């Protein structure tokens, strides 16, 4: 996607609404939807979304492993609620 020209990456939202079927049928890379010339959303092919989701899950697993290792090495580590933990990750 980086090699694509700006014109091939962005779609005005009004044009997207008018031709949604065409855009979805031809969607091979992520596209940025512009609303009043400002980025408002990104659409990606489903396979690309699933790949991104998998990467995020793996990253969360790595973060959990780091926390577990820290606790194993320090018995005085305080308990962290799961909500607090995920909030610290920005999730």
CATH number at residue 16: 3.40.1620.10
> Which value, in Å, is the radius of gyration of the alpha carbons in the chain?
20
How many domains does the chain contain in total?
2
The set of residues, in sequence order, having a beta carbon less than 8 Å from that of 12 and lying 6+ positions away, is 33, 34
Does position 8 have pLDDT exceeding 80, yes or no?
no
Q: Examine residue 12 and state whether it is found in any structural domain, yes or no.
A: yes
Q: What percent of the chain has pLDDT over 90?
A: 55
Closest residue by Cα to residue 40 from 7, 73, 14, 78: 14
Quote the pLDDT of residue 7: 65
> How confident is residue 1, by pLDDT bands cut at 50, 70 and 90?
very low
56 and 77 together in one domain: yes
Comparison of pLDDT for 18 and 84, the residue scoring more = 18
Distance CA 14, CA 37 (A): 11
Cα 63–65–69 angle (5° rounding)?
A: 120
Q: Examine residue 56 and state whether it is found in any structural domain, yes or no.
A: yes
61 and 84 together in one domain: yes
Does position 49 have pLDDT exceeding 80, yes or no?
yes
Cα 38–42–45 angle (5° rounding)?
A: 155
> How confident is residue 6, by pLDDT bands cut at 50, 70 and 90?
low
58 and 69 together in one domain: yes
Q: Domain of 38?
A: 6-44
Q: Examine residue 38 and state whether it is found in any structural domain, yes or no.
A: yes
This prediction's pTM? 0.58
40 and 68 together in one domain: no
């Amino acid at each position: 996607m980086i090699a694509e020209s700006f014109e091939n990456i962005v779609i005005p939202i009004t044009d997207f609404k008018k031709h949604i079927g065409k855009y979805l049928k031809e969607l091979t890379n992520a596209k940025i939807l512009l609303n009043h010339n400002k980025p408002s959303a990104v659409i990606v092919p489903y396979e690309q979304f699933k790949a991104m989701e998998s990467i995020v899950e793996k990253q969360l697993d790595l973060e959990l492993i780091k926390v577990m290792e820290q606790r194993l090495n320090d018995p005085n580590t305080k308990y962290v609620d799961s909500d607090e933990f995920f909030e610290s990750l920005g999730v």
